[in-house]
Structure 1
Amino acid sequence: MFFSRKYQHTSNVNNPSIISILEVSAASTAANLLFEGKVIAIPTDTIYGIAASTQNNYGLKKLYEIKKRDLNKPLSICVSDTSEIKLWGETSHLNERLLEDLLPGPVTIVLKRKGLLNSFVNPNTDLIGIRIPNTNFVQALSRLCTVPIALTSANISFEQSPIEINDFIHLWPKLDAIFDGGVISNSPLQRAGSTVVDLSEPGHYNIIREGNRNILNFLLLTDAKLYCVRVVRPPNYRTEEKNW
C-alpha cells in the first residue's frame, strides 16, 4: 500500500494537506477543491503540475500568482477523453485517429481555441494547449470536474521540473492541497515534460517543445501525412521555461 513519505511536513500550519492519490476519495476531494477556486498540485504522466478550474477566475489568478507567471504566457488545459477535445479546440481539419494515437500520453496538442473556453484562460492568444495525461488519477479528476482543468508545471519559471513533491516544497505554503503520487520516474529524461505539438494549421505540424516520447510522436505525425514546419532542439529540462 502507498503511504505518503512527506507526512511529517503537514504539522506546519503554513503547509497544505498532503493526500495520497490512492485514497478512495482523492479524485473527488481534488474536484471539490477546484470547484471552490482552490489551487492544487497533482502528479501527471510526466511531472508534477499545479491545477485550477478553467471556470473559476479566482483560482486561475491564484495559479498565475503562484507561478509568478506573465499573463502572456499560456496555460494548458486537461480533459479526460479525446472526444472532449473538439469542445475546446478546433479539430475539424484533423483525423480523429491521430488524436487517439497521440493521447492519452505525454503530449500537449496546440489548437485554435473555441469560444466555449473561458476567455480568462490565455486571454492574449487564440491558441490552446490540450493534454490528457495517461494516469488514472488525473483522468478520474477530469471526469469529475466536467470542465477542463488549467494545468502548468509545479515550479517557478526556469526551475527544474518536479518529479516528486519535495521538488517544489517552497511552493507548498501557497497551495491548497498536494496530491502525492510518489516519484513519477527516476529516468533523467522524465523532467523534459510533455512534447508540445502545434496542430492548429491544416496539413502542418510544428513541434514547439520536444519531450520524452519524441520518436513515436514523429512517426505518428508523419503517418498522418502532415508536413513538418519546424522541430525544435531538445530542451535543457533544468533551465527551460515551459510556455505550455
Structure 2
Amino acid sequence: MTKIKEHDIFITTTDTVLGIGGKVNDINKEKIYKIKKRDYTKPLIIVIGSLEQLKSLENINEEHLKYINKYWPGNVTLIINNQGYRMPNNKGLLNLILNEGPFYLTSCNISNQETIRTIQEAKKIFPNLIYFDFGPGSNKASQIIDTKTGKVIRD
C-alpha cells in the first residue's frame, strides 16, 4: 500500500461517496479548501479508524458513546464538540486510516458541483493526486447528526 506523506492529498473510495482527503494538519486543510474551491465557512469532517484515534483528537463522554455505538462504523457523521467525525464501514479504508490517519475527508468534487462518482472521472479533474480504490460505495453522502442536540443536520 502507498505510504501517505504528511502533506499528500488523495482521493479514495469509501462506503459513501468518493472522497478527497489528507492527514489532519493545517497545510492539508488549506490544500483541500483550495483544490475544491470550498467556502471556508464549511467545515471538513475527520475520518477515524478506531475509538482510540477519536479520543486522541477529542474529549468523549457517555452521550457521545451512545451515538458512536449506535452508528459506527457506518455512513453517519457525528458532530462532537463542533467537529464532524465519521468511522467508515469499508475495511480497506479503515485499514488505511488505522495505519496512516486520521484524515480530513470530504466529497470529491469542486464545491457546489456534482460529486464525482468514479476514480476514472476524478483522475481527469484531479490528475496529480494519489488514488485508493477500496471498492464501490453507496454514492450517497453520509447522514450528519449533532450529538449535542440529537438533531439530524443532513439526512
| TM-score class, shorter | 0.7 to 0.9
Shift of 1:197: 0.5
Distance 2:144 2:117 in 1: 19
Aligned residues: 155
Distance 1:62 1:134 in 2: 26
Match 2:10 to one of 24, 33, 40: 40
Q: Say whether residues 1:207 and 2:130 are aligned partners.
A: no
Moved over 4 A (4+): none
Q: Say whether residues 1:155 and 2:125 are aligned partners.
A: no
Deviations 1:167-223 (A, max 9, x none): 4344222x42112345x25xxxx3331000011x2xx3111101xxxxxxxxxxxxx
Q: Is the 1:67–1:156 contact (alpha carbons within 8 Å) kept by the matching residues of 2?
A: yes
1 or 2 for the larger relative contact order (CA 8 Å, sep ≥6)? 2
Identity of matched residues, %: 28
Distance 2:73 2:51 in 1: 8
- Name the TM-score, length of structure 1 as normaliser: 0.58
Q: Is the 1:161–1:192 contact (alpha carbons within 8 Å) kept by the matching residues of 2?
A: no
Shift of 1:90: 3.7
Unaligned runs of 5+ in 1: 1-24, 113-126, 211-244
- Pick the structure with greater CA Rg: 1
- Rate the CA distance shift 1:141–1:206 in 2: closer, same or farther, 3 A: same
- Name the TM-score, length of structure 2 as normaliser: 0.87
Unaligned runs of 5+ in 2: none
Distance 2:38 2:124 in 1: 16
Match 1:51 to one of 21, 31, 43: 21
Match of 1:60 in 2: 29
